[in-house]
Structure formats: structure tokens, C-alpha cells
Amino acid sequence: MLTKRLIACFDIIDGRVTKAIRFQDNIDIAPADKLAGAMYDAQIDELIFYDITASAEKRGIDIETVKKVARQVFIPFTVGGGIKDLHDMYDALKAGAEKISVDSMAVRNPQIIAEGAKAFGSQCVVLSTQVKKTKKMPSGYEVYIDGARLATGLDAGEWIKRGQELGAGEICLNSIDNDGTLAGYDLELMRLAETAVSVPLIASGGAGTPEHLRTLFTETQTQAAIISSMLYSPRMKKNYSVRELKDHLIRNRINVRPSGK
């Protein structure tokens, strides 16, 4: 049985971690490097870093902050935002990332997925996709880009199929409707994804209680979950430790890497 993974996702603005609801009204949390160190000490399984304004501002990723975060963690570390070409991917990997996430630029230039997979291996390329429910699309979900600001007209199911065909080794699905709501993951979205592709899936958007994680992992085939709000959002009545979340999953016979603290 594959080990399920818990992931902290940093939405970065000016070198600091922020949290939002449905991609709006971001609240400042902490310097990215300091929070990364705390998450590593807490034994989080992975870290994802998104420079969330890079694409909209048409600039490259904040490489200096990537370097600062990379010095604090020795776990799989994915970075995204402002990745335009192989040169940008190489710079992010050289700065300490292990995987590259492509999102808005992949929609604008899908070949960046194939080029990245060829140059660095499929395991290095994560297709991150922001989706919103709609009756206009066959799958019931439409792909958005530029920090969920721009609708693309792409059907989410068809887009992730294409992403896998082009070489993405992992797919992260972020539910815009559920993002930051603490009401639970969009299980319907994840079930759609598991019928569309065979690569590992990451669920993002909506986690608010340990039970949301148990439900995700028992009712879908999702391999990893982003849990940022539960860890450090000021909107939570109670923040959870990584150990509390893992202990809850272990009690429910879900295979996770135990916390040693």
C-alpha cells in the first residue's frame, strides 16, 4: 500500500507565506523560510511553494526566497509560479527545488510539460490546475489560470489527461470553490481525476478537520493532500500539529509516515 502524504503549501507574496479564501483576501502569515523550518521540524512530508503573483505580474519566480526555503528543508520540495521555460526550471532546481510545478504557463504553452519531462524526467514535473465548478464543461469543471483570475474555456478532465500525455508525473488539483473554506475537499473532483489519469494526485482546497483527510484517503485514490489551513491559518479555531493529523490517520488504518515527535 502506498504511503499517503501530507503537504504544506506556501502561497508566497514578497517572500512571505499568505493564506486566502477562494484565492482572495490574502492574510500574511510568516516569512517563508522560518515557516518552512518549522514545518520540517514538525515532520511534514513535502512542501510546495507557489509564487502566486508571478504569472499575473509576468515576472519570474522569486529565486532568492526559493533558496532560503530550500536551506531549511530536506524533504521533497516543489516550486511554481512564473516558470516560463526550461531555463526557469533549471534555475529553480539549482536553487534547491526537487520538482517544478507548472500551471498558467502550461495552459499557454503545453509543450513546457513535455520539454521539462524530457530534460529532467516526468517525476520532476507537476501539473498544478485550478478548477471551478461549471455546467458549461462536460466534466463539470473549468480550468482557471493567473491565480484563479482568468477562465480558460478548458475542460478540467480533458486538460489533466493531456497533461499526463505530455509527461506530467503528478497532478495537483486545487478546487477554487473549496479553497480556504475549511469545509472539506471536493471529493467529486478527485474521483473525476482518478478516472481520467493514472499518475499520482494531490488534492488541494478545503481541508479543515482531520476527518476531511480520512474521508479523502478512504473514499478516493488520492495519494497526497495539501493541509495548509489546518496547520497555520488564523481563520482556524484550532490549528493542528502534523503529529495530530498523522495520528488520526494511523488510528483509522491509513498508511502515513509516522511522526517521531
> What amino acid is encoded at 82 in this protein?
G
pTM over 0.85: yes
Condensed to tens digits (0 to 9), the pLDDT of residues 211-229 reads 999 999 999 999 999 999 8
**Rounded Cα gap, residues 155 and 104, in angstroms:** 15
Residues of the chain with pLDDT under 50: none
CB 42 within 8 A of CB 261: yes
Please report, for residues 97, 132, 229, the alpha-carbon distance to residue 183 in angstroms, rounded to integers and kept in the order given: 31, 16, 11
In degrees and rounded to multiples of 5, residue 172 shows phi and psi of -110, 120
Close Cβ partners of 11 (under 8 Å, ≥ 6 residues apart): 17, 18, 19, 20, 26, 50, 52, 228
**Rounded Cα gap, residues 181 and 114, in angstroms:** 34
Close Cβ partners of 195 (under 8 Å, ≥ 6 residues apart): none
Condensed to tens digits (0 to 9), the pLDDT of residues 163-189 reads 999 999 999 999 999 988 899 999 999
Looking at residue 253, its pLDDT comes to 96
Looking at residue 21, its pLDDT comes to 66
Dig out the grid coordinates for 71 from the structure.
Answer: 536551506
Question: Rg of the chain's alpha carbons, rounded to an integer?
Answer: 17
CB 11 within 8 A of CB 23: no
CB 120 within 8 A of CB 85: no
Looking at residue 260, its pLDDT comes to 66
CB 250 within 8 A of CB 258: yes
